[in-house]
Structure 1
Amino acid sequence: MTDAVRVLVVDDHPVVRAGLKALLAGDAGIEVVGEAATAVEAVRQADAFRPDVVLMDLQLGDGVEGVEATRRLLALDTPLRVLVLTTYDADTDITRAIDAGATGYLLKAGPPEELFQAIRAAAQGKTMLSPEIASRLLQRSRAPEQSLSAREVEILELLAQGLGNKELAKKLFISEATVKTHLVHIYSKLGVDSRMAAVSAAVERRLIRLDSPPR
């Protein structure tokens, strides 16, 4: 019999952690070795218990988001995989998590079997995505000319915070002319003609979320 996959559960809600632990306890091939509510706790627990897979929420309790926690965990000497399990499905969240090194990205609304399968896949270094996430990434790859660049998404997030062109230029260390060029491209891709409409369209299409954490 193969050894059970050792899992660390990272989520800032105690009820969610308890629910996940109870759910995973029903699978003999998975062992929960620890739990954490913050990035600092996650790193400490991972260093102490050396899990194979870390289940990572994106919104944590100490002000350090799950993407940064993922970076810190993967910087440890301990070999592990990070599997994001979250309610957030905005493109910007998915991209950041994958760029940070996450092995997979699941939505909490998915069925338990999907989670069990993803944990086993992650332990083997395989990528696992929720069907909804995989479908959206595929659509983006099929129409790359309509996909927003990382810089354009960043500008949209700052627009949502109410920043003007001058503030955007200062924040991003670019010229106002470059900001205007980016806006022209954003408007064209989203089929809008104003800043407010661009933000509204981006939120509606789940490209950004209004409470997106700063980069």
Structure 2
Amino acid sequence: MTDTFRVLIVEDDAVIARVYSTLVGAMPSFTVVGTARTAADGLTKVRQSEPHLVLLDYGLPGGASGVDLLRKIRSSGSRVEVLAITAHSSTDLVRESMRLGVLDYLVKPFSEERLRQALNQFISISAQVRATALAQKDVDRLRESSAPVKQWIPRELSGDRLEVVRDLLNQFDGPRSAEEVAEQLDSSRVTARRYLEFLVSLREAEVTVDADKPGRPRKLYAIRPRPGSR
């Protein structure tokens, strides 16, 4: 089996597409098999070139977005890996992307090193997938030897504050509202909700609706139990 991975770049800006192509082509494990500027052209070239990886910009012209293309790729049964590239980072968009199985989610502008990091992650995952006959201990060893990828968080959130919210949810003896979390953080309710919704998008937290009390229903957040925990 070849060690060279075929990459398709779907990006409407020709200059940016050339930059991506140069960066990807400079890595010995990759070869760029084509570029596309619209979702329709991207879908055609996915079918024609059968790439291993698609660098997919979400902001595409022509009425269909990159997310629309991603949905069509998944509904077609294609197993191609997709690296999402976008200037937008709303909770709903991140959640939808993760549900559709993106390899990574890069928010523009990002550094060249961050792109290389995502490409190296693809190589590591591909090596594990190929080794279908490995015993569990061998798979665990491969995972431990893979270079860790820094968790992506939206630019408007702080990594340190996100860790504080995680700790709070773990310490609470039950679900809490954004208002209650905001009191602990000494922040606004809107800010607390952003962190809570992001943890929900990562499936680290879960949300329920409390409609038992008078007034508007409240969203309540709690840490998601780990598999096997009681």
Task: Report the TM-score, using the length of structure 2 for normalisation.
Answer: 0.56
| Higher Cα radius of gyration | 2
Counterpart residue type for residue 9 of structure 1: I
CA RMSD of superposed structures (Å): 3.6
- Between the aligned partners of 1:118 and 1:37, the Cα distance in structure 2 is 22
Is 1:131 equivalent to 2:148 in the alignment?
A: no
Change (3 A) 1:29 1:41: same
Is 1:54 equivalent to 2:54 in the alignment?
A: yes
Q: Secondary structure at the match of 1:94?
A: helix
* Equivalent in the alignment of 1:78: 78
Matches within 5 A, 1:10-29: 10-29=10-29
Structure having the larger proportion of residues in helix: 1
Give the deviation of 1:2 after TM superposition.
5.8
- Between the aligned partners of 1:39 and 1:130, the Cα distance in structure 2 is 28
Is 1:108 equivalent to 2:108 in the alignment?
A: yes
- Which is further off, 107-116 or 65-74? 107-116
Higher relative CO (Cα under 8 Å, sequence separation at least 6) belongs to 1
Q: Secondary structure at the match of 1:54?
A: strand
8 Å CA contact 1:105–1:128 kept in 2: the answer is: no
Counterpart residue type for residue 115 of structure 2: L
Give the deviation of 1:20 after TM superposition.
0.9
8 Å CA contact 1:68–1:100 kept in 2: the answer is: no
Unaligned stretches of 5+ in structure 1? 151-179, 190-215
Counterpart residue type for residue 71 of structure 2: R
Matches within 5 A, 1:1-215: 3-122=3-122, 124=125, 131-133=152-154, 139=162, 142=166, 145-146=177-178, 147=193, 181=216, 185=218
- Between the aligned partners of 2:31 and 2:216, the Cα distance in structure 1 is 52
Percentage of matched positions with identical amino acids: 24
Unaligned stretches of 5+ in structure 2? 129-147, 170-175, 179-192, 198-214, 222-230
Q: Secondary structure at the match of 1:32?
A: strand
Give the deviation of 1:68 after TM superposition.
1.6
- Between the aligned partners of 1:58 and 1:145, the Cα distance in structure 2 is 33
- Between the aligned partners of 1:41 and 1:8, the Cα distance in structure 2 is 11
8 Å CA contact 2:105–2:152 kept in 1: the answer is: no
- Between the aligned partners of 2:158 and 2:34, the Cα distance in structure 1 is 32
Structure having the larger proportion of residues in strand: 2
- Between the aligned partners of 1:137 and 1:97, the Cα distance in structure 2 is 21
Q: Secondary structure at the match of 2:153?
A: helix
- Between the aligned partners of 1:75 and 1:131, the Cα distance in structure 2 is 26
Q: Secondary structure at the match of 1:118?
A: helix
Counterpart residue type for residue 55 of structure 2: L
8 Å CA contact 1:53–1:80 kept in 2: the answer is: yes
Task: Report the TM-score, using the length of structure 1 for normalisation.
Answer: 0.59
Give the deviation of 1:109 after TM superposition.
2.4
Q: May I ask how many residue pairs the two structures share in their alignment?
A: 157
Q: Secondary structure at the match of 1:7?
A: strand
Give the deviation of 1:128 after TM superposition.
5.9
